[in-house]
């Protein structure tokens, strides 16, 4: 039985006999080959489907570590700013560990599924008229002046947990892919994957991928080289204008010979519909930025034909039902409660 990250990867993680054996059985997510898109793009394309973690996003990998270490240090409260997924994970692992999560979120900009999770897991929820970057500044300040532990990705244990996804990809493929495509918001995850690939390579000679990060165009601070005061994108998960791990993300890009590029909301929504309708894989819009980036990079030649590519799908599509309904091009057919009428309609399709 899979017993979660702390159990499985303890030799790679900063854990001791005093670290609680916290788990919701996170990690060990599927690496799915995208058959149709691979053929169309003439590459070998896989997705790391992080939406199958216990709270539906990759944040569980980092949060199990951050909360376990907070409990080990005697903390009774954890706090984070969030666009939604971090807060869902913090709330779940805090509940599991018997401590309290406090979350600060941008009002009106958190997808419905993520908000529902925060309520159900029993977080103290504070919404502000401000964006993620402003919320992060507030919780950073508060955690410095109180006994509350900060569990955003500036907490180093978060990246430690998240790096394990790179291990799983190397184990799944037998080595690192040529290119790792990943959405970039606060830039913690791209930094964690790069750390993971380097550590696994040092231990097991699994090789190193080129790191391709993708920001939403309306929030592309790293691409533009400047803080964006008012970031905007349909992909609310990555609606971030001043990424905390900016420097680490640039290091991942430069050391790996990769790139950080921007994808438009239109490209994101196109990729979002494409992987659901052509591959049966439903990921939230922020996640689809990685696929949008792959499509763009094949088109402009920065991903050569024949490359083995892994795109990280960071969150489950069910997180954001409102965007799914709005972005869908499928019309509901309303018919009478009548078998003959329904049969006539279906025969028209055949």
Does 267 bind ligand F0G (CB under 6 A)? Our answer is no
Per CB under 6 A, which of residues 38..57 are in contact with ligand F0G?
57
- Among residues 183, 218, 231, 258, the one that binds ligand F0G under rule CB under 6 A: 183
Whole-number Å distance between alpha carbons of 336 and 342: 8
- Contact between residue 211 and residue 256 where contact means Cβ atoms under 8 Å apart: yes
Which segments of 100-232 does DSSP mark as H helices, in order? 112-121, 132-145, 156-162, 164-173, 188-204, 221-224
Whole-number Å distance between alpha carbons of 197 and 209: 8
Whole-number Å distance between alpha carbons of 185 and 144: 23
Host H or E run for residue 286: helix 285-299
Among 184, 193, 194, 180, smallest CA distance to 297 is for 180
186 is in an annotated binding site: yes
**CB of residue 85 to ligand F0G, shortest distance in Å:** 3
Does 184 bind ligand F0G (CB under 6 A)? Our answer is yes
Could you say which DSSP state residue 316 is in?
B
**CB of residue 241 to ligand F0G, shortest distance in Å:** 12
- The 3-state secondary structure of 26-89 reads CCCCCEEECHHHHHHHCCEEEEEEHHHCCCCECHHHHHHHHHHHHHHCCCCEEEEECCCHHHHH
Does 196 bind ligand F0G (CB under 6 A)? Our answer is no
| Residue with Cβ nearer ligand F0G (67 or 187) | 187
Among 5, 57, 62, smallest CA distance to 312 is for 57
CA dihedral 170, 175, 176, 179 (to 10 degrees): -120
Does 320 bind ligand F0G (CB under 6 A)? Our answer is no
**CB of residue 101 to ligand F0G, shortest distance in Å:** 13
Choices 121-129, 217-225, 282-290, 340-348 (CB under 6 A): range interacting with ligand F0G? 282-290
CA distances from 162 to 13, 43, 88, 171, 266 (A): 10, 26, 16, 16, 29
**CB of residue 283 to ligand F0G, shortest distance in Å:** 8
270 is in an annotated binding site: no
Does 298 bind ligand F0G (CB under 6 A)? Our answer is no
Residue 24, phi then psi, degrees to nearest 5: -115, 20
Does 323 bind ligand F0G (CB under 6 A)? Our answer is no
Contacts with ligand F0G: how many residues (CB under 6 A)?
A: 22
**CB of residue 184 to ligand F0G, shortest distance in Å:** 5
Does 237 bind ligand F0G (CB under 6 A)? Our answer is yes
Choices 5-13, 36-44, 265-273, 280-288 (CB under 6 A): range interacting with ligand F0G? 280-288
| Residue with Cβ nearer ligand F0G (115 or 175) | 115
| Residue with Cβ nearer ligand F0G (111 or 298) | 111
- Other C-beta atoms lying within 10 Å of the C-beta of residue 308: 16
Per CB under 6 A, which of residues 153..182 are in contact with ligand F0G?
153
| Residue with Cβ nearer ligand F0G (130 or 207) | 130
Per CB under 6 A, which of residues 48..107 are in contact with ligand F0G?
57, 59, 82-86
Does 187 bind ligand F0G (CB under 6 A)? Our answer is yes
Bind-site residues: 85, 185-189, 314
Bind-site residues for pyridoxal 5'-phosphate: 85, 185-189, 314
Instruction: Give the residues lining the site for ligand F0G (CB under 6 A).
Output: 57, 59, 82-86, 153, 183-189, 237-238, 284, 286-287, 314-315
């Amino acid at each position: 039985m899979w017993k979660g990250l702390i159990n499985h990867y303890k030799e790679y993680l900063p854990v001791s006999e005093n670290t609680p054996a916290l788990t919701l059985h996170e990690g060990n997510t599927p690496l799915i080959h995208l058959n149709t898109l691979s053929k169309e793009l003439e590459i070998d394309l896989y997705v790391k489907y992080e939406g199958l973690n216990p709270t539906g996003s990759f944040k569980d990998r980092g949060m199990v570590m951050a909360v376990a270490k907070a409990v080990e240090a005697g903390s009774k409260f954890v706090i984070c700013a969030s666009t939604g997924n971090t807060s869902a994970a913090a709330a779940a692992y805090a509940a599991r560990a018997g401590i309290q999560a406090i979350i600060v979120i941008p009002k009106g900009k958190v997808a419905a599924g993520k908000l529902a999770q925060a309520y159900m897991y029993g977080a103290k929820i504070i919404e502000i008229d401000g964006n993620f970057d402003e919320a992060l500044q507030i919780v950073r300040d508060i955690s410095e002046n109180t006994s509350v532990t900060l569990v955003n990705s500036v907490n180093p244990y978060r990246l430690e947990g998240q790096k394990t996804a790179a291990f799983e990809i190397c184990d799944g493929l037998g080595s690192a892919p040529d290119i790792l495509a990943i959405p970039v918001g606060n830039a913690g995850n791209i930094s964690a994957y790069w750390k993971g690939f380097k550590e696994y390579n040092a231990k097991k000679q699994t090789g190193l991928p080129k790191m391709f990060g993708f920001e939403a165009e309306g929030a592309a601070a790293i691409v533009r080289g400047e803080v964006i005061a008012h970031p905007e994108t349909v992909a609310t998960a990555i609606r971030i204008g001043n990424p905390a791990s900016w420097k680490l993300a640039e290091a991942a890009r430069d050391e790996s010979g990769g790139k950080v590029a921007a994808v438009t909301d239109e490209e994101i929504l196109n990729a979002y519909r494409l992987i659901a309708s052509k591959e049966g894989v439903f990921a939230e819009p922020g996640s689809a930025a990685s696929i949008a980036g792959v499509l763009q990079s094949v088109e402009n030649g920065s991903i050569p034909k024949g490359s083995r590519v892994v795109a990280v799908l960071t969150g489950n599509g069910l997180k954001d039902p409102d965007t799914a309904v709005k972005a869908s091009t499928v019309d509901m057919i309303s018919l009478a409660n009548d078998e003959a009428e329904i049969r006539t309609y279906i025969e028209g399709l055949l």
